[in-house]
Amino acid sequence: MTILVTGGAGFIGANFVLDWVQAEGTPVVNLDLLTYAGNLRNLASLDGDPRHIFVRGDIGDFDRVLGLLQEHRPQAIVHFAAESHVDRSIHGPEDFIKTNIVGSFRLLEAARAYWGDLPQGERDNFRFLHVSTDEVYGSLGPYEPAFHESSPYAPNSPYSASKAASDHLVRAYFHTYGLPVVTTNCSNNYGPYQFPEKLIPLMILNAISGKPLPVYGDGLNVRDWLYVGDHCSAIRRVLAAGRPGETYNIGGYSEKINLDVVKTLCALLDELHPQSPRTPHAELISFVDDRPGHDRRYAIDARKVEDELSWRPAETFESGMRQTVQWYLDNRPWIEDVTSGEYRKWIDENYSQRMAAS
């Protein structure tokens, strides 16, 4: 079973490619444009492995995508490619519209053209799996029930609005054209290879350098945290047994306030990296101006994927966090590679005014 993965050099995509090759052992055609968060060093362990076929390209290039599909004849497309950082979407929403909406539309069109020419048996077995986010559902109050698959969409940022639009396109291609799609909406991922603009790797890197740990607002925003390895196993399970046209919410059963996440990281670093310039690491926590429209709480009800497909996360928040912190401590060359001048420029742009105003 050959599959085509889009965005397979990014954080979740690269983890999925590595997981797929290890667990399934069949070929992956990996299409990635290698924008700022795409990094082939994430896939260094697959150098020379004939099961990993990397192609640098844009999901919005219809002819390129259709040509790859016709050449490699995958039985599934797993669509990770997306602009995915809320703060970046606030600063510059156009890239999110271009990639997440227009790019997904053109990818769907190429998939439909390819699928339509397959023999009947291959048509029946083909799948288009669209990886989305819980942020499309909006924000929850402190006592509201968790998001489920029929929760209404209420996106509050340019990022989540663009992902909601792509979800709707995927749904429409199933109902209008019969394209056998499946959508997954996941909670906040963390783990190895995450670009350090996101909360957990940013805090780890700042802490071991003795820099402030900037926490937005009062730090009481709530997220459900999902270890990326568990997310990968869930996607493989949905791809194998999920019903076409269905949506499956994937969560980690780990609701935490952001401040507690940072304190957990600090405690782990006190234990695992006591040689940091400043300890205890929690003394570095500082509160900065909140971002506009910051959703207060996300929570995922993952009972559907558990009941229908017998999937549950293998990692607890504590075990996943320990593995994550240790990975960043053990992979300093990777960190040095991704924290380039452009990365430092973005961090300065996003955080300097917040910290000055707080």
**The pLDDT of residue 87:** 86
3-state class (DSSP) for residue 274: coil
Q: Annotated catalytic residue: which of 58, 87, 114, 159?
A: 159
Q: In the annotation, is 49 catalytic?
A: no
From first CA to last CA, the distance across the chain in angstroms is 53
Residue 189 identity: N
Domain count, the chain: 1
pTM: 0.94
- Of 32, 58, 87, 135, which one is the catalytic site residue? 135
Q: Is 174 left (phi over 0), alpha (psi -120 to 50) or beta?
A: alpha
To the query of whether residue 298 is one of the catalytic residues in this protein, the response is: no
3-class SS letters over 28-96: EEEEECCCCCCCHHHHHHHCCCCCEEEEECCCCCHHHHHHHHHHHCCCEEEECCCCCCHHHHHHCCHHH
In a domain, 218, yes or no: no
In a domain, 200, yes or no: no
Residue 22 maps to a domain: yes
Q: Which domain holds residue 121?
A: 3-195+225-253+296-314
- The confidence score (pLDDT) of residue 179 equals 98
Q: Is 135 a catalytic residue?
A: yes
Predicted confidence at residue 154, as pLDDT, reads: 98
Strands 213-216 and 285-288, bridge-based pairing: parallel
Helix (H) or strand (E) holding 280: none
Write the pLDDT tens digit of every residue in 180-216.
999 999 999 999 999 988 999 999 999 999 999 999 9
Catalytic, out of 32, 58, 83, 134: 134
Give the CATH number, domain containing residue 9: 3.40.50.720
- Asked if residue 7 is part of any domain, the answer here is yes
| Regions of the chain with pLDDT less than 70 | 341-347, 349-358
Residues 19, 310, 168, 127, CA torsion sign: positive
Identity of the amino acid at 226:
L
Residue 352: the pLDDT is 62
For residue 313, which of 249, 257, 234 has the smallest C-alpha distance? 234
pLDDT of amino acid 47 = 95
The pLDDT of residue 304 is: 98
Could you tell me if residue 158 is inside a domain?
yes
Residue-level pLDDT at 329: 98
